Structure 1
Amino acid sequence: MRVELLTVGDELLIGDIVNGNAAWMGEELTRAGVQVVRSTVVGDTLEAIGEAVAAALDRADGLIVTGGLGPTYDDLTRDALALLAGVKLIRDPETEAAIRERSTRYGVRLRASALRMADLPEGSVKLPNPAGTAPGIRMELAGKPVYALPGVPFEMRAIMTETVLPELRGPSAPAVLTLRTAGVWETVLAGRLAPVERMDGVALAYLPDPARVDVRITAESAETLRRAVDKARGLLGQAVYAEGRVTTLGAAVLDLLRERDETVAVAESLTGGLLGAELTTPAGSSAVFRGGVTAYATPLKAALLGVPEDLLAERGAVDPDVAIAMAEGARERLGATRGLAVTGVAGPDPQDGKPVGTVHIGVCGPEGSRSFTPTLTLPSDGSRARSLVREMTVVHALDLLRHEVLRVAMIREWEQDQEDLEGLS
């Protein structure tokens, strides 16, 4: 089935909100064996919505619309659909009762406009919304199915998951799996994965983020997918930190440490707490993450983390040895197995003669300490550099810690193998 996506909202056109709904729906529909052939964004006018719906139905087998089902005067999707179908809007008593009950329960004065969410085009089918108030709508226009869903992301996803995807799912949905990588550029990954690209029945897509790239592998069957994934993992090695849909780099690092009964503490400067946030987002992180010190001001690196004052005076805060001292201070003061620290220049101005994008990462553990100075790819638009430097620093720091843990683990496995061999001789 070939479907189009239509997203309604002035806020999307002017850039106030990124169109994450279309991205999520595109991925889920592809997994379900539905081909997405076009995605369009229009503003909150009857004319724009109506023209876009009619044009989409001329080209595709079906249409999914998101947005414009709320209670305000500019929520016009239901009106546009009724106008195209030549029918009137009918108020659904069950939805109206739910809106009134919700208003009473929360002690909120009911506005007449809120009841618009109970209006449905005559002849349409109400789609239950388990996550909100406004129901979705299914109807036929030009003999083709049209689904209208709320623009609130978690409401849209709930209706898509429970109703729309099961109805549209194709008989031969492709097999899909995503490999998540860190610290390797997209062009390098593409070069390494050329043999996988040449496999019959396999397609790759590269989804880059700051310092990370997801590689989505699509295959014609589960068996072909498994062969492609195994080949890709062999070619990429430790660049792959996870496979699947939701695992973050922080979660992967926590899992590694948990498996080895180790803990970690962090010391942050330029990232201002982002590193600790990444490590505390996954559930169960308290078993592994000891804590963090955000020593943003240079004197606090000495006062809180024990970085030698003469080192700071001689070299400044942005220095590889300072990063190591910060990591060692965090590990010692917070009683962790491993310490991880970041210091650098996020911008917009240079610091101590160091250009924006200069970053040093320190890591320490039972086997010793070392630093790493990643090469960051900065945007030509300097206004975006600061946030990008911070995001990339977090990824590089977590990836360095992951490699350190894996390196030690491999050495220990080798030593165990040697002991086993000696026992057999």
Structure 2
Amino acid sequence: MRVELLAVGDELLFGDIVNGNAAWLGRQLADVGALLRMSTVVGDDVEMIATRITEGLGRADAVILTGGLGPTQDDLTREGIARAAGVGLRRDAFLEAMLRRRFRALAREGPAAGSQAPEMNYRQADVPEGAEPLPNEVGTAPGIRMKIMDGVVYAMPGVPHEMYPMFTESVLPDLLRRAGEPAVVVHRVLRTAGVWESVVAQALAGEIDRLAPIGNPTIAFLASNGQTRIRISARAGDRAAAYKIIEPVEEAARVALGIALYGVDDDSLEGTVLRLLADRGETLAVAESLTGGLLAGRLTDVPGASAVFRGGVVTYATDAKASLLGVDAELLATSGAVSTQAAEAMAAGVRDLLGATHGLAVTGVAGPTELEGKPVGTLHIGMVGPSGALTRSVQLPGDRPRNRAYAVVQALDALRRTLAVHPCQPG
């Protein structure tokens, strides 16, 4: 079934509220195999709501609206649906009686005790002619279901704790019934680090071209903070059959991506690094400059990290690198604190200080201004372990917050790749 989403409210357009409903609904619809092609936000305007409904039904089998069902003058979704259908509004006597009972109860107890509900509250009992109300067990605004043209329109409150159960209990079952025999949709997420999204896409170009005429499975790329996820989605009559469709695509992706691939589904980069170290019986200590503790924080987010992670030292000031980690003062004076030499010396120092198998260090320029003549985004990574010392330099592309976040990913990925290339040393 083809579905479009339409969120209503000036507060969404002006950024007062983030449209989290669309993200939640998108996930729910994807999980049942619905084809979601468009998600739109409109303001509190009857004509605009009606136009977007009509246009949506010209492309999709169903349009799902959120918001604009409250009691105030700017709640115009009911009027918009009626305008799209070419009908008027009617007052539903049963809904009105239900609302009056609820408001009488609120007048006796709760935060509205002793007050009388304004008459405008009963606008929530108005529904377009020919529409059916959807029950709202946790709020006062009923939803709406209405057939228009060859499709169906659903309207739900914008308040998430009211919208979630209405969708799950009323809208989704009706959608699935209209769609006919349901299909199970499953996803496999492959996780990469240290490569651009475009490089990942190019590596899988052959598979994408092969699958395009088939349309099942599909491949999507999602990039964030220096990592790229590859989501492979397949639809079939049951989960086992859907995963069978994914298997050859996943295998082709693994071959194409090689060492850039570090995990699947819920795996994290930090969890992968800790697992690799645990499998080898080795430990880790980190020294941080520009990341200011973010690297240690990511590692300790993983339950059980203490079995591998010895600890970290934040040496933000140049002299702290010498006094705490034993970095040679002459090295700092000649090469600078933002250098591969400093990164390697920091890694060696923290390794010795905390008695770890591996030392990992980061130093660089987060921004917003250059340091030691080095441009913003300069990153040097130092690694010292049983196989010796390695350094890696990267030019990061972002502002201060993004550079710090990217630096953590780059450091973890550099260590992961080193562990994968160098086998565990005996003894």
TM range (shorter): 0.7 to 0.9
Correspondence 1:224 to 2:227: no
Write out aligned runs for 1:95-244 (5 A). Answer: 96=102, 123-126=132-135, 137-142=143-148, 144-149=151-156, 164-165=171-172, 167-169=174-176, 171-200=182-211, 201=214, 202-219=217-234, 221-244=242-265
Q: Is the Cα contact below 8 Å between 1:346 and 1:386 reproduced in 2?
A: yes
Out of 288, 292, 316, the residue aligned to residue 296 of structure 1 is: 316
What does residue 322 of structure 1 align with?
342
Q: What runs of 5+ residues in structure 2 fail to find an aligned partner? A: 236-241
Q: Percent identity?
A: 45
Q: Is the Cα contact below 8 Å between 1:342 and 1:361 reproduced in 2?
A: yes
Larger radius of gyration: 2
TM (norm. structure 1) is 0.77
Deviation at 1:77, TM superposition (A): 5.0
- Moved runs in structure 1, 4+ residues, more than 6 A? 69-73, 82-85, 107-113, 115-118, 133-136, 152-155
Matched residue type, 2:314: T
Deviation at 1:345, TM superposition (A): 1.0
What does residue 38 of structure 2 align with?
38
CA offsets 1:196-237 (integer angstroms, 9 cap, x no match): 224343432222223211112234543221111011112211
What does residue 419 of structure 1 align with?
none
Does the residue aligned with 1:234 lie in a helix, a strand or coil? helix
Matched residue type, 2:39: S
Q: Distance in 2 between matches of 1:289 and 1:398?
A: 13
Q: Distance in 2 between matches of 1:301 and 1:118?
A: 68
Q: Distance in 1 between matches of 2:205 and 2:51?
A: 43
More divergent stretch after superposition (31-40 vs 248-257): 248-257
Structure 1 residues 269 and 14: CA distance shift in structure 2, 3 A: farther
Correspondence 1:395 to 2:409: yes
More divergent stretch after superposition (70-79 vs 319-328): 70-79
Does the residue aligned with 1:300 lie in a helix, a strand or coil? helix
Q: Is the Cα contact below 8 Å between 2:125 and 2:142 reproduced in 1?
A: no
Structure 1 residues 402 and 154: CA distance shift in structure 2, 3 A: farther
**Aligned Cα root-mean-square deviation (Å):** 4.0
Structure 1 residues 406 and 140: CA distance shift in structure 2, 3 A: same
Q: Distance in 2 between matches of 1:229 and 1:213?
A: 15
What does residue 56 of structure 2 align with?
56
Structure 1 residues 15 and 317: CA distance shift in structure 2, 3 A: farther
Structure 1 residues 219 and 261: CA distance shift in structure 2, 3 A: same
Q: Distance in 2 between matches of 1:222 and 1:258?
A: 30
Matched residue type, 1:190: A
Q: Distance in 1 between matches of 2:159 and 2:311?
A: 35
CA offsets 1:363-396 (integer angstroms, 9 cap, x no match): 23333332111243x2xxxxx5223322221211
Q: Is the Cα contact below 8 Å between 2:136 and 2:162 reproduced in 1?
A: no
What does residue 419 of structure 2 align with?
405
Matched residue type, 1:7: A
Q: Distance in 1 between matches of 2:157 and 2:204?
A: 39
Q: Distance in 1 between matches of 2:174 and 2:267?
A: 28
Correspondence 1:280 to 2:294: no
Matched residue type, 1:140: M
Structure 1 residues 86 and 158: CA distance shift in structure 2, 3 A: closer
Q: Distance in 2 between matches of 1:265 and 1:235?
A: 33
Q: Distance in 2 between matches of 1:127 and 1:30?
A: 24
Matched residue type, 2:246: L
Deviation at 1:271, TM superposition (A): 2.0
Does the residue aligned with 1:364 lie in a helix, a strand or coil? strand
Q: What runs of 5+ residues in structure 1 fail to find an aligned partner? A: 379-383, 416-425
Correspondence 1:267 to 2:287: yes
Q: Distance in 1 between matches of 2:163 and 2:307?
A: 35
